[in-house]
Amino acid sequence: MEALATVGQRLPSRHGLTAEEVAASQRARILVGFMEVTAEKGYGAVTIADIVERAGVSRQTFYSLFPTKQACFVAAFRAGASTALGRSRNP
């Protein structure tokens, strides 16, 4: 999963990206941040604050993309599965 900005870094203020590209970058950073924090702490211990801190986004941004931590988990699982399946088909 590729983010337009590194996980934990916000996009520069003059990035020249469209709103859709910004949202895609934020979503990718949230998913990667979620996976990293979950690997470190375990799902039950992860908070929204942990995720947004790691992803470099606001809590408002998180909730504009995911209604709950569980919804973020499902999206991260699907993204990871999709990536794994793509790699297994194209070694």
Phi-psi domain of 47 (left: phi exceeds 0; alpha: psi -120 through 50; beta: other): beta
Q: What is the mean pLDDT of the chain?
A: 85
Instruction: Specify the CATH number for 19-89; select among 3.40.50.2020, 3.30.365.10, 1.10.10.10, 1.10.10.60.
Output: 1.10.10.60
Residue 14 has pLDDT above 80, yes or no: no
Residue 1 has pLDDT above 50, yes or no: no
Per-residue model confidence (pLDDT) at position 83: 83
* Pick from 31, 24, 23: nearest CA to 7: 31
Q: What is the average per-residue pLDDT within 11-26? A: 80
Residue 86 has pLDDT above 90, yes or no: no
Task: Kindly list the domain boundaries of the chain, sorted by start residue.
Answer: 19-89
* Pick from 33, 24, 28, 32: nearest CA to 54: 33
pLDDT tens per residue across span 47-60: 999 999 999 999 99
